[in-house]
């Protein structure tokens, strides 16, 4: 299985948040993880940065931000040139999905945790 470098956008160091669980599950499956959230923190050795961090070779961006909080990150996401963006439940955003498609980025409406559990990641 190929390892997919993944940006968790909207990451949290709060164990009750889905973004926290996603970081842990991605690590358990051997995927390199980059995390950006509102506050600096750390999950399983992955630093959560409060500001967007330049990265190379990001395969997947998985969103844990509601649509109202996504727009400031559009340029950052597109600058990473990911192959796909996963819109987890509650993050669906028609505008971002259309912009992604027009740039050749696959928008995926799904749940990162379920995708990992079922081998669909």
Question: How is the chain split into domains, by residue range?
Answer: 6-117
pTM of this structure: 0.97
Mark residue 26 as left, alpha or beta (left: phi above 0; alpha: psi -120 to 50; beta: remaining).
alpha
CATH of domain 6-117: 3.40.50.720
CA atoms within 13 Å, Cβ hemisphere of 39: 7
How far apart are the C-alpha atoms of 87 and 107, rounded to whole Å?
Answer: 7
Q: Which of 84, 38, 85, 77 lies closest to 54, judged by CA?
A: 77
Could you list the pLDDT tens digit for every one of the 121 residues in the chain? Answer: 689 999 999 999 999 999 999 999 999 999 999 999 999 999 999 999 999 999 999 999 999 999 999 999 999 999 999 999 999 999 999 999 999 999 999 999 999 999 999 999 9
């Amino acid at each position: 299985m190929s390892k997919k470098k993944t940006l968790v956008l909207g990451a949290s160091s709060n164990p009750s948040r889905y973004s926290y669980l996603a970081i842990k599950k991605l690590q358990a499956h051997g995927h390199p993880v980059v995390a950006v959230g509102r506050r600096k923190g750390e999950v399983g050795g992955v630093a959560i940065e409060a500001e967007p961090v330049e990265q190379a070779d990001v395969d997947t961006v998985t969103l844990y931000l509601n649509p109202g909080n996504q727009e400031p990150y559009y340029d950052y996401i597109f600058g990473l040139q990911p192959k796909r963006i996963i819109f987890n439940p509650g993050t669906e955003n028609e505008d971002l999905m259309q912009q992604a498609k027009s740039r050749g980025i696959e928008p995926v409406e799904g749940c990162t945790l379920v995708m990992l559990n079922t081998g669909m990641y």
